[in-house]
Structure 1
Amino acid sequence: MNQEKILKILLAPIVSEKTTMLSAHNQYAFKVRVDCSKREIKAAVEMLFSVNVENVTTSIVKGKKKIFKGRIGSRPNWKKAMVKVSEGQMIDVSRT
């Protein structure tokens, strides 16, 4: 996998109260491209953050329906990846 594709897989870390609590258990959440696989996500996290990934869990988050000036629209669907790293390793999401 080339470097350019790896840099485009991870879009942003998900920082919330729930994901902050999960970081104590070596789990981190990222917003990723919808068309990428678990293997690609694992390779991207390992290369960008220099950690060993144990497990990757993904889910598709459906976009909300919105009404603006009487017209019905929807926000786009997006993919969430929960990444578990090896014991003793951590990812500093404040730097990303």
Structure 2
Amino acid sequence: MSLSMHAVLVQPLLTEKITGLREKTNTVGFIVHPEANRVQIKQAVEALLKVKVEKVNVLNVRGKVKRLGRFSGKRSDWKKAFVTLKEGEKLEMYESA
């Protein structure tokens, strides 16, 4: 399936775990389109954010089953990508957060 570069990256992930990874190993996190693969994610990050990518790790996150009284529902499944940047590369959007 052909996705546009803007459709591949849904939003950046800003959590304590990813902040620690960014400081130690120069890794940033993104919520990505569920059908995007590693190659598409790498191309989108390099083209849109103008940085060099060393590697991409991807994992699928299952939605939790939640209840409200007797009613039960399920949160959506989503895909998360950890993108390791090459040595010396930085993303400015993470520096201000």
- Please state how far the C-alpha of 1:17 moved relative to its aligned partner: 1.0
SS in 1 for 2:17: helix
Aligned to 1:21: 20
Aligned to 2:5: 6
Q: TM-score, normalized by length of structure 1?
A: 0.89
Q: How does 1:13-92 map to 2 (within 5 A)?
A: 13-24=12-23, 25-92=25-92
Within 1, Cα distance between the matches of 2:33 and 2:68? Answer: 27
Question: Aligned Cα RMSD in Å?
Answer: 1.7
- Please state how far the C-alpha of 1:35 moved relative to its aligned partner: 0.5
Structure 2 spans left out of the alignment, 5+ residues: none
Structure 1 spans left out of the alignment, 5+ residues: none
Q: Which letter maps to 1:87? A: E
Q: TM-score, normalized by length of structure 2?
A: 0.88
Within 1, Cα distance between the matches of 2:79 and 2:17? Answer: 17
Within 2, Cα distance between the matches of 1:50 and 1:15? Answer: 20
User: Runs of at least 4 residues of structure 1 off by over 4 A?
Assistant: none
